[in-house]
């Protein structure tokens, strides 16, 4: 037909599943790949902490206290003579678990709530959002403290409390995107073709909201790790001598002048983790959005 | 055979300043296989009429009422939302103005066609894929099989509108509503799309409601035209009849502001002065009266009735415009 030459890519497009295409996209984003690999390494190292860690993380050895990094203790020792590196590995188990579970919790509750609110609007929206408002009126940490205080100091309750704090934040954001996406012409077009509300929400709206969701979830992860630290510092959550990144970080504060390595290990691993997740989130977002796909660098020569 | 019968269709939207009567008593019949044009300026109620027929007006804030809105003998306003969903996409389909935005940007073309086939024809797997390829070929998309895996942004505007038409026609609807379907396209593509719609709907005996503000497009495509103004049909007639003998002040104004290439008199384009009336206020007299250039004293006193002009042509106008046809 006459407008065929106007096509942007005359190269044949193979009919592949969109997931396969997305998977091919991800490695093309270098930062995302690096983020993914680093995160994988951290996860593996913490998962296999019992085998990887050179020392028992809670074994006190006062003769070795506050020693700077050496071959024996690659990241030095803390004020009880415990190996900082081992504590970092073991602590990751708590911190990563908190991060992931809170993300999971926020996703399972926040996304459906936000979608329902944004799609149905009106009374449903009003009711759900007033509920969300009620949660949002409290300072997040205070709310978490109150919840953990109510439920008892335990790492499971910390996860639950942080999830309850993060879910409304996510729901509010999802609602905003849903309101915007709902007005897109293709949503009306899908309705005009007889699509049911469930199908419209799941296959048309949600797919177009991947970027804000992914970005927000990375933020939730970072917030969860840090909040767990704060809660542990306040005496909720991880109880001493159990290690966690947040706990160790807040304990190290007191020795910042004498033993900066104590502080450096947990903070940098949190920073690296959050950064990796952010990069990965970026890559994931681009990989799931066909409009952002990069093509191969060069065109194949004609055979 | 009448496929669609609309009687006194009224669609309102609640706003804080009052109810907007977007469609205010529209009545018409659409025969099977007929192509009906709806013309009028922005805000005249063309799209809302279409959305009301498809029952796509969001309620609230909208509200659709009619003495009758019968599609193939069934009163649409009495169907449940679930029953309406069965009709939409299968027996009635719609093509929208902006082909750049009416396809979901993150789903492949194939997936979007298959979705409809699966939904309404319970087609799946290779059979559905074959049908999708067939559909794309019908609307003139080259190497259709490879195109199934492409995303909307890889298509040009004209191609996307072809895809939209393929999707709309995928379940052989009896009614196709095209809402400004070619307005966003350049004229050559526009002509191709019009030819395509004309060919496909003639072949299948599909009835079409073609919404446009472009009289030229309507003249080339439609069998009959409804001219809409301020939420009502002000003149209706077979295409030739109406273009030869425009009998409403507004129709006349529309034609006076449309360039012609058929050389009937070299003249300046005359715009219609003023703005359309506020649809919140009740309108008692002719809604076009404040802007009308051919009004007669009677217009100030009585609202215009439908005046039959023979041959299925009528106009709601008190002025006798017969001697001043557009070929002045």
From CA B283, how far away is CA B299, in angstroms rounded? 13
d(CA B226, CA B237) in angstroms, rounded, equals 7
- All domains of chain A in start order, with CATH: 31-45+82-289 (1.10.3720.10)
Report whether A66 contacts A34 (CB < 8 A): no
Residue B284 domain-assigned (yes or no): yes
User: Taking 90 as the threshold, does the pLDDT of residue B252 lie above it?
Assistant: no
Cis ω for the linkage preceding B60 (within 30 of 0)? yes
What is the chain A residue with the closest CA to B84? A194
Residue of B nearest to A196 (CA): B85
d(CA A235, CA A233): 5
Q: Note whether B106 contacts A207, CB cutoff 8 Å.
A: yes
pLDDT at residue A15 greater than cutoff 80: no
* Contact present, B92 and B209 (Cβ < 8 Å): no
pLDDT grade for B33, boundaries at 50, 70 and 90? confident
Contact B208, B174 (CB under 8 A): no
Question: A303 pLDDT exceeds 50?
Answer: no
**Residue A1 pLDDT > 60, yes or no?**
no
- Residue A229: pLDDT band (50, 70, 90) is confident
A204 contacts on B by Cβ (under 8 Å): 104, 107
Are the beta carbons of A208 and B143 separated by less than 8 Å? Answer: no
- Tell me whether strands B2-15 and B18-31 are parallel, antiparallel or unpaired: antiparallel
In whole angstroms, give the CA distance from residue B247 to residue B313: 9
Q: Which two tokens stand for residue B130?
A: 């074959």
Can you say whether residue B310 is alpha, beta or left, with left for phi > 0 and alpha for psi between -120 and 50 degrees?
A: left
Distance (Å, rounded) from C-alpha B265 to C-alpha A216?
64
Which residues does chain B have within 8 Å of residue A181's beta carbon, measured at their own beta carbons? Answer: none
Asked if pLDDT for residue A29 goes beyond 90, the answer is no
Chain B contact set for A202 (CB, 8 A): none
- By Cβ distance, the residue of B96, B102, B147 closest to A13 is B147
Asked if B113 reaches chain A (Cβ–Cβ under 8 Å), the answer is no
Report B:125-144 residues touching A (Cβ under 8 A).
Answer: 140-143
Say whether B142 and A1 touch across the interface (CB within 8 A): yes
Contacts of A196 in chain B (CB under 8 A): 85
Q: CB B110 to CB A289 under 8 A?
A: no
In this predicted structure, the answer to whether residue A4 has a pLDDT above a threshold of 50 is: no
Query: Residues of A156-195 as b/e, b for ≥16 C-beta within 10 angstroms?
Result: ebbbbbbbbbbbbbbbbbbbebbeebbebbbbbbbbbbbb
pLDDT at position B325 over 50: no
Chain segment B170-217, per-residue pLDDT in tens: 888 889 998 888 877 788 888 888 888 888 888 888 899 999 888 888
Q: What is the pLDDT of residues A61-73, one digit of tens each?
A: 888 778 788 888 8
- Put simply, the answer to whether B146 touches A15 (Cβ < 8 Å) is yes
Written as six digits, the tokens of B1 are 């055979």
Assess whether pLDDT exceeds 80 at residue A206. yes
Which positions in chain B touch A193 (Cβ < 8 Å)? 88-89, 93, 115-116, 119, 167-168
pLDDT tier at B264 (50, 70, 90 boundaries)? low
Judged by CB atoms closer than 8 Å, whether chains meet at B104 and A192 is answered as no
Six-digit token string for A104: 């999971």
Whether residue B165 lies inside any domain: the answer is: no
Q: How far is the alpha carbon of A6 from chain B, nearest alpha carbon, in Å?
A: 7
Question: Does position A41 have pLDDT exceeding 90, yes or no?
Answer: yes
Q: Among A58-67, A87-96, B112-121, whose mean pLDDT is lowest? A: A58-67
Reported as a pLDDT band with limits 50, 70 and 90, residue A210 is confident
What is the predicted pLDDT for the residue at A295?
Answer: 62
Q: Closest approach of chain B CAs to the CA of A99, in angstroms? A: 29
Interface mutation target, options B53, B93, B107, B164, chain A, most CBs of A under 10 Å: B107
Which chain A residues have a beta carbon less than 8 Å from that of B116? 193-194
- Compare all CA atoms of chain A with the CA of B113 and give the residue at the minimum distance: A193
- In percent, the amount of chain A with pLDDT more than 90 equals 18
The answer, for B116 touching chain A at a CB cutoff of 8 Å, is yes
Whether residues A7 and B188 touch (CB distance < 8 A) is answered with no
Domain count, chain B: 1
- Residue span of the structural domain in which B253 resides: 223-328
User: Does residue B151 carry a pLDDT above 50?
Assistant: yes
Q: How confident is the model at residue A12 (pLDDT cuts 50, 70, 90)?
A: very low
pLDDT higher than 90, residue A34: yes
pLDDT band at B262 (very low <50, low <70, confident <90, very high): low
Do residue B110 and residue A15 have CB atoms under 8 angstroms apart? yes
Query: In which band, very low, low, confident or very high, does the pLDDT at A111 lie, cut at 50, 70 and 90?
Result: very high
Determine contact: B173 vs chain A, CB below 8 A.
no
Find out whether B149 and A16 touch, Cβ atoms under 8 Å.
yes
Cα B315 from chain centre: 19
Q: Residue B107 above 80 pLDDT?
A: yes
How confident is residue B263, by pLDDT bands cut at 50, 70 and 90? low
Query: Which range among A132-136, B39-43, B254-258 shows the weakest confidence by mean pLDDT?
Result: B254-258
Q: What is the pLDDT of residues B272-305, one digit of tens each?
A: 777 777 788 777 788 887 787 777 777 788 888 8
Q: How far is B120 from chain A (nearest CA, A)?
A: 8
Contact across the interface for A7 and B88, Cβ inside 8 Å: no
CB contact under 8 A, A189 and B86: no
Q: How far is CA B55 from the centre of its chain?
A: 15
Cβ–Cβ below 8 Å for A207 and B93: no
pLDDT at position A243: 86
Distance from CA of B192 to the nearest CA of A (A): 9
Q: Is residue B285 part of a domain?
A: yes
Q: Which helix (H) or strand (E) holds B179?
A: strand B175-179
Residue B138 maps to a domain? no
Could you tell me if B45 and B232 are in contact, meaning their C-beta atoms sit under 8 angstroms apart? yes
Tell if the CB–CB gap between B146 and A12 is shorter than 8 Å. yes
Pick from A103, A113, A102: nearest CA to A171: A113
- Domain membership of residue B313 (yes or no) is yes
* β-sheet with B224-229: strand ranges across: B92-95, B175-179, B207-212, B35-39, B224-229, B232-238, B314-315, B307-308
Mean pLDDT, residues A14-35: 75
Q: Which chain B residues have a beta carbon less than 8 Å from that of A210?
A: 106
In whole numbers, what is the pLDDT of chain B averaged over residues?
83
Q: Is the ipTM of this complex over 0.90?
A: no
Chains A and B form CB pairs within 8 A to the count of: 113
Chain A contact for B91 (CB, 8 A cutoff): no
Compute the radius of gyration of chain A from its Cα atoms: 24
Q: Does B184 touch chain A (CB under 8 A)?
A: no
Residues of A with CB under 8 A from a CB of B: 1-4, 6-9, 12-16, 18, 122, 184-186, 188-196, 199, 203-204, 207-208, 210, 288-291
In a domain, B121, yes or no: no
For the cut 90, the answer to whether the pLDDT of residue A113 exceeds it is yes
Asked whether the predicted pLDDT for residue B240 surpasses 90, the reply is no
For residue A286, what pLDDT is reported?
82
Confirm whether B322 is domain-assigned.
yes
Which residue of A5, A189, A285, A295 to mutate against B (max B Cβ within 10 Å)?
A189
Residue B214 lies in a domain: no
Tell me the per-residue pLDDT of A148-201, one tens digit each, with 9 for 90 and over.
Answer: 888 888 888 889 999 999 999 999 999 999 998 888 888 888 888 888 888 888
Of A7, A184, A195, the CB nearest to B156: A7
């Amino acid at each position: 037909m006459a407008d065929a030459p106007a096509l942007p890519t005359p190269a044949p497009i193979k009919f592949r599943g969109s997931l396969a295409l997305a998977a091919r996209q991800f490695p093309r984003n270098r930062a995302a790949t690096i983020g993914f690999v680093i995160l994988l390494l951290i996860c593996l190292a913490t998962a296999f902490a019992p085998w990887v860690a050179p020392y028992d993380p809670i074994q006190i050895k006062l003769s070795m206290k506050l020693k700077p990094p050496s071959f024996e203790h690659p990241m030095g020792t803390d004020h009880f003579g415990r190996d900082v590196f081992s504590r970092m590995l073991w602590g990751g188990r708590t911190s990563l678990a908190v991060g992931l579970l809170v993300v999971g919790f926020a996703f399972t509750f926040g996304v459906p709530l936000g979608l329902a609110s944004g799609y149905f609007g009106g009374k449903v929206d009003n009711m759900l959002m007033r509920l969300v408002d009620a949660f949002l009126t409290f300072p997040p940490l205070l709310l978490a403290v109150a919840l953990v205080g109510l439920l008892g100091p335990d790492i499971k309750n910390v996860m639950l409390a942080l999830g309850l704090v993060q879910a409304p934040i996510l729901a509010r954001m999802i609602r905003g995107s849903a309101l915007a996406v709902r007005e897109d012409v293709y949503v009306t077009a899908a309705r005009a073709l007889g699509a049911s509300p469930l199908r419209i929400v799941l296959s048309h709206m949600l797919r177009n909201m991947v970027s804000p969701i992914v970005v927000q979830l990375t933020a939730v992860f970072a917030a969860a790790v840090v909040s767990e630290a704060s809660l542990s510092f306040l005496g909720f959550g991880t109880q001493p001598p159990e290690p966690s990144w947040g706990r160790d970080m807040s304990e190290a504060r007191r020795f910042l002048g004498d033993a900066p390595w104590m502080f450096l290990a947990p903070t940098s691993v949190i920073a690296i983790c959050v950064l990796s997740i952010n990069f990965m989130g970026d890559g994931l977002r681009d990989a799931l959005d066909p409009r952002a796909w990069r093509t191969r660098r060069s065109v194949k020569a004609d055979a | 055979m009448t496929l669609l019968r609309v009687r006194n269709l009224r669609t309102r939207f609640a706003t804080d300043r009052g109810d907007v009567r977007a469609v205010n008593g529209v009545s018409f019949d659409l025969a099977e296989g007929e192509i009906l044009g709806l013309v009028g300026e922005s805000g005249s109620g063309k799209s809302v009429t279409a959305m009301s027929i498809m029952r796509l007006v969001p309620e609230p804030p909208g509200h659709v009422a009619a003495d009758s809105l019968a599609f193939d003998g069934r009163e649409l306003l009495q169907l449940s939302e679930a029953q309406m969903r069965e009709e939409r996409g299968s027996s009635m389909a719609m093509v929208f103005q902006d082909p750049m935005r009416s396809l979901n940007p993150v789903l492949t073309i194939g997936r979007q066609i298959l979705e409809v086939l699966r939904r309404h024809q319970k087609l799946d797997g290779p059979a559905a894929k074959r049908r999708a390829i067939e559909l794309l070929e019908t609307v003139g998309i080259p190497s259709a099989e490879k195109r199934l895996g492409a995303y909307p942004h890889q298509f040009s505007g004209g191609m996307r509108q072809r895809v939209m038409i393929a999707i709309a026609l995928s379940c052989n609807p009896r009614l196709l509503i095209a809402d400004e379907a070619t307005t966003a396209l350049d004229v050559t593509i526009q002509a191709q799309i019009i030819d395509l719609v004309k060919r496909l709907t003639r072949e299948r005996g599909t009835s079409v409601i073609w919404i446009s503000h472009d009289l030229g497009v309507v003249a080339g495509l439609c069998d009959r035209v409804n001219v809409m103004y301020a939420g009502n049909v002000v003149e209706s007639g077979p295409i030739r009849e109406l273009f030869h003998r425009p009998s409403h002040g507004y129709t006349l104004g529309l034609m006076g502001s449309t360039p012609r290439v058929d050389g009937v008199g070299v003249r300046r384009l005359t715009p219609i002065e003023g703005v359309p009336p506020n649809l919140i206020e009740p309108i008692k007299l002719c809604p076009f009266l404040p802007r009308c250039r051919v009004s007669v004293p009677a217009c100030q006193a009585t609202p215009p009735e439908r005046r039959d002009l023979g041959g299925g042509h009528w106009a709601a106008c008190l002025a006798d415009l017969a001697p001043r046809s557009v070929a002045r």
